[in-house]
Every structure is written in structure tokens, then in C-alpha cells.
Structure 1
């Protein structure tokens, strides 16, 4: 029971007792009766005055409590001209002012932090208990390819795709480099911070493609230029000398002449082959900037099909063209993209068995090109290295085709992947600068 109610109950009971006693006075005690009534009246007035003195502070305290419960830190209490109560009100108002300032500062910090997280190029995922996602920024949404899916309340294991599954395996305080489809490289780290005694976990995802590709390109460009310069200069001079030397064959004995000529021709041919190898490497370095124009990607796939169809007859390849209706216009360098598609189809032709199938597909939603085959497939240990410069799983391969394709697609700011799913090896190209036909 509240203090004011206790006081009110006490005052009522006390005055009822006084009234009862007055009513039971002897009739001859009229003076006492009148005096008693006056005293009771004065007591009622004093009690009412005291009750108001208790009720007003109590009301103010209740108002302050309700304001704190409602987190309304803008309400201040007015002084009552009672020194004890005014001291309490002064402390309360100071506390409210402090809470309001702290809330404003906290709100400003949270607003700035939300803006920074939202604008960060790194993916950031905040986790609740049981590893449920409580917040995720736009960069992480794009990296995890969530689209319009609301990931809040989900676990990483609930999200389809290889990247979220690999991230879910990372322990607290650990960092890991994850390669997806041989083309996308991510640095992922899981850590935590303590707030109000509770641990909150978060995951940082950084895409390393651009940084790694630039370093790789700088390194191999320098090496190839040195190799090309030194080798071509030497080979040209050596072949010139060998061609001169071969003219002296007539001065040799007839029995030695043929072996002499064959040996020199072998040396000359090997030098030419070495020069061709260096020239192939130099192609990667000498890729020009794309000349961007509007082209129909469907027509480009048809052209590649016509060019490679004759080669496919050797294995009686079944060609399947599944192209979206109408034109699929994109701003590209058609010659460079055509070279990429030819390289991909060549690899597919080498992979398929006799009477195998190669599909050439295009789609608008999502806007993408896909070349797939039901050939040998890509082993798991090879898939992580596919787009490493000059890596090749072929016995005598130089890895130039995929390296060249990678550079062209990066220059077009395209996304790409190469993987085997359900016995089909798919090379997908997306993120072209598509526009309405």
C-alpha cells in the first residue's frame, strides 16, 4: 500500500474514533462537545494539508517513474517549494539530463556506425545467440548472393551456397582464406566484443580478388616482358646463325651431310617453337583495353557455335542452344568476348567423350551466359587453382587460355565461375553491362 493511502486510512480511522467519543459524551458536557468538534475540524484541516504535502511529492515521484519506464528523458519535474522534496527533484532532473545526453550521444554513435557498416566494402555479419544473424550489411548480402532474401534470424548454414557453408566452419578468433569456384577469393574472420557483460559475435568478409589479381598481373607481366625480350632477341640471332651455318652443308662429306642438315633444322624448329610459346605468353600482357560497343550476346553464341561445330563433328558432339528470346544486348568488345567463348568451347570439346553434349545458354533473369558440357568434370583439388595464372591440368598445357579469358572478363568487370555440378561442368559469365533491347 502506498504511503499516502496509509496516511489517509489512519486519518479517517482516527477521526471516526474522535467522532464516536464525542457522540458518547454526557449531555451536561456541552462545552467539551463543542471544543471537541472544533478540534476535529482543525484536525481534518491539518490532515488534509498534510495529505496534500504527501500526495504532491508522491505524484511527482510516480510521474518520474513512469517517464523512466517509457524512456522519456525529456520530462523534468517542477520544484514544490519543499526543501527535502526539491533536493530529490534536483537530483532526479540531473539524472534525467545525463540520461538524455547519453542517449543522444549513443544514438549519434549508432547512426554513424550504421552508416559506416552500410557503406563498408567489407561484408559484416552480426550474430546473436545460437549463431543467428541479427544484422548484415549490403556488401555481405552481395557476397553471399542473397538477393531479396531476408537473412535475419537465419544461420549461415541455412543460406544456400558454398561461401556461407565455409564461413560457418570458422571458429571464434580464427581467420581463413576461402576460394570459391576458382575465381572468387575471400578473407573471412570471426571475432567478438563484450557489451554490457554479453559477448556479441561478428564476421568480417573481405574480397581479395582485385588486390591479388593486380599483384599477380604485375608480377607475371614483368617476368613475361623480360622473357620475351631476352628470348626473342637470342632466338632471332641464333636462327640467323644456324641458317648461315646450314649453307655450308655442301662442304661436308656426302655421308654426313644429311645428318648435319637434320640436326640444324631440328634446332631451328625448336627455337621457333620456343618463340611461339613466348609469343603466347606475351598475348596475355598485350591485351588491349576493350573497345566497348552494343552487341547481341545471343548472336555471339550462335557465331561461336558455327565456328566450333566442325571441330565437334570429330566426336559427334550434340550441340544444345538454349537462348533467351529476342536480343540480349550488352556493351562489350565483341572480338575479346568471342575469344573467351571460343576458349571455353575448346576446353569443353577436349573434355567431352564421344557423342557428348555441349550446351550454349543465355538468360535475362538473371542476365547470364553459360557454356556447359557433360565431360570429365573438374576434380575438387583442381577447381581451387583454375584461374591461377598459367595453371593447367593438361599434360602439356600452358594455362594461357584461362588466364587470357580471366584478364578479358576482368577488363569487362564481369563475374565468372567454372565448376562441376551434377556431372555438368559450367562456365558462367555474368554482370555484363546489359541494357534493354
Structure 2
């Protein structure tokens, strides 16, 4: 389809259509009045030239408009149009230049704001993920990259990593199998987070996060973003402070009661001689039982008090392998009597590190003791199941507690990983985040003090740790000691 004629073409056609007939009429004067003919032709030529000049001046604003459009299209907001020296055009050019100046200032402000936003996102310790209109990742900061460890995340939805079928190549090479599973579980929870919701999430490693999904509008369409902040340390500190206050109040009240009750019970024993022999023996037995129970109550409170009143770390250079050797030696006879294989599975050479040996030994004793009790509980459950089936079952493999001390390959071997692995497999479906909280225990009659003490010791040494089911029904307690041997004094 042909394009319509331009305004310049139409004006030119109009001038020609007006003057050509007049030129034709002027030729009639040539035979009779040559001088008048020349004058008429000259006047018509001058009129045509003036019309053409006025046409150019009238259409000149269109040229400035075109140049202004070209500057906008090329985003050359710092450019300016030259004033032609005509009042009307000067006003138009001044208006165009004012618009360019306003756009230039706005672009500078937006660029500064974008630069500040980029630096803010990189400096933010929390994770920030921004999605496009199709909920594919379009931006993530360093915190999100470190938290999730996603390989080539841009242009992909979170559901890509939440899927169980995602392979190792979809994650950072520094993430081991456990870290990939933790990242996959967290990505699944984040992908399912509703809009405008702010929830507390827990990953498979027991770490806790506050996650919020929001939205903003871009070119009239809604885009989503996620803010994820790890709260593990803050929540543990808050829980510790709450438990300290609670236990101190309980210890004060219980100790006062135990002391008074013990004194009264000791005084009552003086009345034994005033009773008949048989009644006196029964009386003394009851009093002794009450004293024993009273003392047990005091010891129960003391165990909690020792956790919250843990002394400051007394650090000295020590070989972690030698500390573990002592623990294995102390439990060797116990495990032999119970038919549990206890020993090293792997032991890499490790440089001495700064440890409070007494606290670390006590923590490791708790871990090994829990492993022995888990193995015993599994044996009891198997024996009960065999008795219920009333027939011979296949012989169970030998129970074991295996210790490994190895360089962590995930960070290039800078950190040491100490693992205590047992065949008890008693964690089952226990929520991971509840394992290190007071008053919670997987053992019947347990008080939850042991793991609370272990958590406190490891946190003070700056260690990270994980207690979770392993392969083939095993239970793994992994501890990563800091690479620079520094500790966090709490």
C-alpha cells in the first residue's frame, strides 16, 4: 500500500498549482506588451520563491521535532538543540531542551538509585531473589547465591531446583549431597510461599529462616520477590536467655525446697528409736527413700544449672584426634560387653586447634553415650519384634559406632569434619529442629539436657553441626570445626 504524501509535498504541489497557470497567463502578454510580460514573470517568480521560503520556515519545527525524537531514541539526554534565532522556534527549542535536561537529571537520579540498590543488595546479609513476569529468577544477590547454591539460576523458576529430579549439575560444585538436599528442601518451601506471607521455615539441617514473598509493579504488571533471613543464631540466643531465666528461677525454688525438706527428713530419723523395731525399720526405709528422691530432684536441677552456668572457654592447642582417642578408650569396655564395634572409620592428619578440652570431651562423651543408648534401643525393638513374630529372623548385622575425622572436601579441606556414626537409627521422623531444644528427647524418660549441653559447647567453639539420619538406617552426628581456629565467645 503506497504511503500518503507528506505535508511538504502537498504544500509544494499547491504552490506549483497556483503559480504555473499564472505563468501560462503571463505568456499572453508577450506579443503585445513585452515589458509587462517580463514584470509579471518576475513577480510570479518572486512569489514562488517567497512561498517556498515560507514553506521551509513553516515546516522547520517538524525538523526539530524529528531531531528531538532521534535524541530520545538514542537516549542522548545530555545533547541539546541549537536555537535558530526565531522567536517561535526559539520557544519550541527551549521547551525541547528543558525536557531533555529534565530527562537527563531523572536518568542520573535513577542511575544513582540503581547503583545504590545494587550495592545494597550485595551488602545485604539476607537472601534476595527477584522474579520476572513468568516467576523465573531475574536477579539474586550474593546472600541468595551462598544460601541456595544454585547453578545458572537466571531465567529458571525455583521449582526447577525444588524438583527431586534436579541433578548435581543444578547446584554449586561446592555443595555436597547433604547441602544439595538442604537447598532443594528450602527451594521447595520458598516456591510454595504465598504472596504477602511471612513465615518461619526450617531446612533439613535444622537451620531456621524468616521468608517473605512480596510484589512490585513493572510496566503495569506484577513481579514477585523473596526476602530470606537466617534466624538460627538469634533464635538460639533468645531461647538460651529464656531457658537461663527459667532454670535459675526453678533452681532457686527447688533448691530451697530440697534443702528444707532434707533437713526435716534428717530430723525425723531421730524418732526411729521411739518406735517399735518393725515400725522403726519401715519408718527409716520410708525416710531414706524420701531423702533419695529429694536428692535426685536436686541433682536433676543441678544438671540444668550446669548447662546455663557453663564457664568461659579455656582454650589451648590440642589434637582433636587425641581427644577422640580418650573418649573411645573410656567407652571401649562398655561397648565390648554389649557387642558394639567402636572405633575409627577414618582418621586424617590434623593440625592442633584451639579447644577447651574438658568441655569438648564432655560433649563428645554425651554424643557417644547417646549413640550407645540408640543402639541398645534398636536391639530391644528388634528383640520385641522377633518375639512377637514367634519365629527365627535373619541375623542382624553387627551394631557399630564409627568415628571419622576428615578434611571437608566441600571447602577445599580447610575445615575438619568429625563424624560419629551409629547403627541405632532412632531418629526416624523426629523434626530436626527439636533435637537440640531443652526438655525434648527421643529416649523414654529423657530430659533433653545432653544435646542442649552439646549445642552450647559447639556454638562456643564456632562449630557448625548436623544430626540427621544417614544411609542404611544409620544416624550421623557431623561437626565442622572452624578453619581459622577462632571461636565465638558467648
TM-score normalised by length of structure 1: 0.83
**Counterpart for residue 484 of structure 2:** 434
**Counterpart for residue 129 of structure 1:** 133
The alpha carbon displacement at 1:121 in A equals 3.6
Asked if residue 151 in structure 1 is aligned to residue 153 in structure 2, the reply is: yes
**Counterpart for residue 329 of structure 2:** 306
**Counterpart for residue 172 of structure 2:** none
CA distance in 2, matches of 1:383, 1:86: 75
Contact 1:181 1:417 in 2 (8 A): no
1:394-433 deviations in Å (ceiling 9; x for gaps): 1110100111112222223333222224333222223625
Contact 1:125 1:135 in 2 (8 A): yes
CA distance in 1, matches of 2:135, 2:433: 28
Residue number among 354, 363, 369 corresponding to 2:407 in the alignment: 363
CA distance in 2, matches of 1:274, 1:258: 24
The 1:245/1:377 distance shift into structure 2, 3 A limit, reads closer
CA distance in 1, matches of 2:342, 2:41: 118
The 1:106/1:256 distance shift into structure 2, 3 A limit, reads same
Residue number among 411, 422, 431 corresponding to 2:460 in the alignment: 411
**Counterpart for residue 117 of structure 1:** 121
**Counterpart for residue 315 of structure 1:** 339
CA distance in 1, matches of 2:235, 2:203: 14
The 1:296/1:162 distance shift into structure 2, 3 A limit, reads farther
Contact 2:8 2:59 in 1 (8 A): no
SS at match of 1:315: coil
SS at match of 2:434: coil
The alpha carbon displacement at 1:38 in A equals 7.4
CA distance in 2, matches of 1:74, 1:230: 77
SS at match of 1:199: strand
Residue number among 291, 298, 301 corresponding to 1:278 in the alignment: 301
The 1:363/1:206 distance shift into structure 2, 3 A limit, reads same
CA distance in 1, matches of 2:108, 2:41: 59
Size of the aligned set, in residue pairs, is: 431
CA distance in 1, matches of 2:355, 2:80: 66
**Counterpart for residue 234 of structure 2:** 211
Contact 1:126 1:134 in 2 (8 A): yes
Determine which structure has greater relative contact order: mean sequence separation of CA pairs < 8 Å that are 6+ residues apart, divided by chain length. 1
The 1:369/1:151 distance shift into structure 2, 3 A limit, reads farther
Contact 1:246 1:264 in 2 (8 A): yes
The 1:272/1:76 distance shift into structure 2, 3 A limit, reads same
Asked if residue 166 in structure 1 is aligned to residue 189 in structure 2, the reply is: yes
The 1:268/1:216 distance shift into structure 2, 3 A limit, reads same
CA distance in 2, matches of 1:40, 1:294: 110
The alpha carbon displacement at 1:57 in A equals 5.6
CA distance in 1, matches of 2:252, 2:470: 43
Contact 2:340 2:400 in 1 (8 A): no
Contact 1:317 1:357 in 2 (8 A): yes
Contact 1:378 1:425 in 2 (8 A): yes
Contact 1:249 1:261 in 2 (8 A): yes
**Counterpart for residue 94 of structure 1:** 98
SS at match of 2:76: coil
CA distance in 1, matches of 2:442, 2:230: 26
CA distance in 1, matches of 2:6, 2:321: 85
**Counterpart for residue 170 of structure 2:** none
1:141-175 deviations in Å (ceiling 9; x for gaps): 3433x1x8443223223334322211111111222
Unaligned runs of 5+ in 1: none
The alpha carbon displacement at 1:249 in A equals 3.1
Asked if residue 398 in structure 1 is aligned to residue 421 in structure 2, the reply is: no
Single out whichever of 54-63 and 116-125 deviates more from structure 2: 54-63
Unaligned runs of 5+ in 2: 162-182, 380-397
The alpha carbon displacement at 1:228 in A equals 1.9
**Counterpart for residue 385 of structure 2:** none
The alpha carbon displacement at 1:364 in A equals 3.1
CA distance in 2, matches of 1:156, 1:199: 18
CA distance in 2, matches of 1:99, 1:431: 56
Residue number among 104, 109, 122 corresponding to 2:108 in the alignment: 104
The alpha carbon displacement at 1:202 in A equals 1.1
The alpha carbon displacement at 1:387 in A equals 1.9
Single out whichever of 71-80 and 341-350 deviates more from structure 2: 341-350
1:108-166 deviations in Å (ceiling 9; x for gaps): 2223333333333433221223321222223333433x1x8443223223334322211
Asked if residue 379 in structure 1 is aligned to residue 389 in structure 2, the reply is: no
The alpha carbon displacement at 1:61 in A equals 3.9
The alpha carbon displacement at 1:182 in A equals 6.7
The 1:334/1:78 distance shift into structure 2, 3 A limit, reads farther
TM-score normalised by length of structure 2: 0.75
Contact 1:4 1:54 in 2 (8 A): no
Contact 1:132 1:153 in 2 (8 A): yes
CA distance in 1, matches of 2:421, 2:133: 42
Residue number among 56, 63, 69 corresponding to 1:65 in the alignment: 69
